Amino acid sequence: MNLPLGFRYSATFAGIRKIVKDDLALIVSDTRATAAAVFTQNRVAAGPVLIARKNVRAARGRMRGILVNAGNANCATKTSEKVAIETSRAAAKMLGAKAEEVLPASTGVIGVELDPRLILDALPQLVGGLSADRFEDAARAILTTDLVMKTAFAEVKGARIAGMTKGSGMIHPRMATTLAFVMTDAVMAPDALRTVLKRACEKTFNRISVDGDTSTNDTLAVLANGASGVRPRLTAFEAALTEVLESLARQIVKDGEGAKKLVTIDVEGATSERAAEKIARCIANSPLVKTAIAGSDPNWGRILSAAGNAGIAFDPRRVDIDFQGVAVCRGGVAAEFSEDELKARLDEPECSVRFIIKGRGRGRARFWTCDFTEEYIKINASYRT
């Protein structure tokens, strides 16, 4: 892995989680970095989201770092915003940065007061531990119910991009889902970075679903510190960023709570990209589709029915559906296929669904979801987030 220049990382256990495992991470750029971020669209936004949004604006898109904790969402508590301000300021001070130059982020249980002392007391050790090669320590510290660490890397004309993310439940395609942090040493202007981030996010993090719920804390932030001196063309940078975000997004779905299969859904032939996306989202969120896939049941009727709930007009008699490349529905009715053979292929860890509306429509969209297993219920019925 090629890490971008000019960044340092740290992680420590601050006592926020119930188990002893790093729960506090710090990402720092040696110099001010161009910053852009997208946040949850949930009306109930956590304190750190409100403060992060304010800070990015106050700092005019030039930030020094990200302070993030797992184990407590710092949301729906009396002191939520206060804690986010106090802790991010303290970190900024220790870094010699302005108060607003650190972006706070939190993930974990909602509605439980987060004691700022835990973080304040851990800060000296956290800052002391900053190192250019502790990227993975930080990536591990932000995980909650995740089973695996999630990172992705790309290069563009000699500049490097490195991303980390967390999340395996409460994953829904509204926007920046869960926490994700991307560092690059490319030279980027704030406006350009914002535009590129929005577009890349739209096609990646906004197109995944595990359970259709959007969290109160979703944050996706990019820091571009220019340390490489490379000023890539915007289209090239956007392609590389999209590659990193797509990889991270897919890793989230693959690690979806209880998920055994990653499902890629392609919708083609809709009247617009937006229409295609809506249909894909309805298929991706249907518990009946997701349970059928869990059972390796090529039940295309559920896919057709779920698509019909998207609020998008289409003629069912012009719909073709493929499962794992096998034609299961042609013109809205059953195609001839070997069910046993297809069932066996559906046992694979990756599963593809193609939903094609024949005609002149050029709208297409790709979406990722996972199957819905008994394990998901087990995790969420017993686990107090």
Residues with catalytic function: 177
Note whether 374 binds a second copy by CB under 8 A: yes
For the chain, give the longest Cα–Cα distance: 68
- By CB under 8 A, the residues from 279 to 308 that bind a second copy are 285-288, 291-292, 294-295, 297, 299-302, 304-308
Nearest to 185 by CA among 220, 159, 158: 159
Rounded Cα gap, residues 35 and 53, in angstroms: 11
129 is a site residue for a second copy (CB under 8 A): no
Pick the closer one to a second copy by CB: 158 or 383.
Answer: 383
- 381 touches a second copy by CB under 8 A: yes
Return the residue of 146, 211, 243, 322 that touches a second copy, per CB under 8 A. Answer: 211
- C-beta of 30 vs 213, nearer to a second copy: 213
Asked if 269 touches a second copy (CB under 8 A), the answer is: no
Task: Note whether 346 binds a second copy by CB under 8 A.
Answer: no
Cβ-count burial 4-27 (b if 16+ within 10 Å, e if not):
bbbbbbbbbbbbbbeeeebbbbbb
Give me the residue label for tokens 């429509």: 361
Residue 372 touches a second copy, criterion: CB under 8 A: yes
Helix spans in 71-171 (H)? 80-94, 116-128, 135-141
Query: Which residues partner with 227 through β-bridges?
Result: none
- Using CB under 8 A, pick the residue from 7, 237, 314, 367 that binds a second copy: 314
Task: Spell out the SS3 assignment of 226-266.
Answer: CCCCCCCCHHHHHHHHHHHHHHHHHHHHHCCCCCCCEEEEE
Q: Which of 37, 73, 119, 141 binds a second copy (CB under 8 A)?
A: 73
Type of residue found at 60: R
356 binds a second copy (CB under 8 A): no
Q: Does position 178 bind a second copy by CB under 8 A? A: no
Which residues bind to a second copy, rule: CB under 8 A? 42-45, 73, 75-78, 109-113, 169-170, 172, 174, 211-216, 285-288, 291-292, 294-295, 297, 299-302, 304-314, 316, 329, 332-334, 372-374, 376-378, 380-382, 384-385
